């Protein structure tokens, strides 16, 4: 088994300091991902080396969807606004099934969370800059381990806000 590690952030809304902290803390990850609303131009140096997608607050230049591989998993990356994630997950679930995704990374709601639907793991890293009142600013680190997949939600300073383990999660194909 090839273990992998994905660090994913979203909704930094022009706060370049949290993007820098994220990059410094997570530079050893197999994939660095931004799920949109960075509000940075696609050619910005901070986005170099990150698989980034276009959110509803971003200028043109980034794709709205990306497919990546993490070990044997197919990973779909999007912001989520085009699939109406603030109203429900069904359109994004359909898109994930059509794409053959095992893992879906998305943002837009500013709420962190991870759950499995129909064998697909959906992870929203939250927002590093504008979390809802009473909620911490977060990003996520997703790791394959011998006992499945773990998702940790970290605050920009690196302290853990929450976590979830998926011991039975595996690729769908």
Question: Considering the chain, what percentage of its residues have pLDDT values greater than 70?
Answer: 97
Residue ranges of domains in the chain, CATH in brackets: 5-166 (3.60.21.10)
Q: What is the pLDDT of residues 80-89, one digit of tens each?
A: 999 999 999 9
Strands, DSSP E only, in the chain?
A: 5-9, 31-34, 51-52, 65-70, 73-78, 103-105, 112-117, 120-125, 139-145, 148-154, 160-166
Q: What is the pLDDT of residues 41-65, one digit of tens each?
A: 999 999 998 999 999 999 999 999 9
Q: What does the alpha-carbon distance between residue 27 and residue 50 come to, in Å, rounded to a whole number? A: 10
Q: What is the pLDDT of residues 124-168, one digit of tens each?
A: 999 999 899 999 999 999 999 888 899 999 999 999 999 999 998
Q: pLDDT at position 1, please? A: 45
Q: Which of 107, 117, 115, 104 is nearest to 162 (CA)?
A: 115
């Amino acid at each position: 088994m090839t273990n992998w590690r994905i660090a994913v952030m979203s909704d930094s809304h022009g706060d370049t300091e949290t993007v820098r902290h994220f990059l410094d803390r997570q530079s050893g990850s197999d994939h660095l991902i931004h799920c949109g609303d960075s509000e940075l131009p696609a050619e910005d140096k901070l986005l170099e080396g990150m698989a980034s997608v276009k959110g509803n607050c971003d200028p043109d230049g980034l794709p709205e969807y990306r497919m990546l591989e993490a070990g044997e998993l197919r990973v779909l990356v999007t912001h989520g606004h085009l699939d109406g994630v603030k109203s429900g997950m069904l359109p994004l679930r359909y898109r994930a099934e059509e794409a053959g995704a095992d893992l879906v990374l998305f943002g837009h709601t500013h709420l962190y969370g991870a759950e499995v639907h129909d064998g697909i793991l959906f992870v929203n890293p939250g927002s590093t800059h504008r979390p809802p009142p009473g909620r911490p600013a977060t990003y996520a680190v997703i790791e394959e381990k011998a006992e499945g997949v773990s998702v940790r939600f970290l605050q920009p300073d690196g302290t853990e806000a929450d976590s979830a383990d998926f011991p039975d999660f595996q690729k769908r194909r």
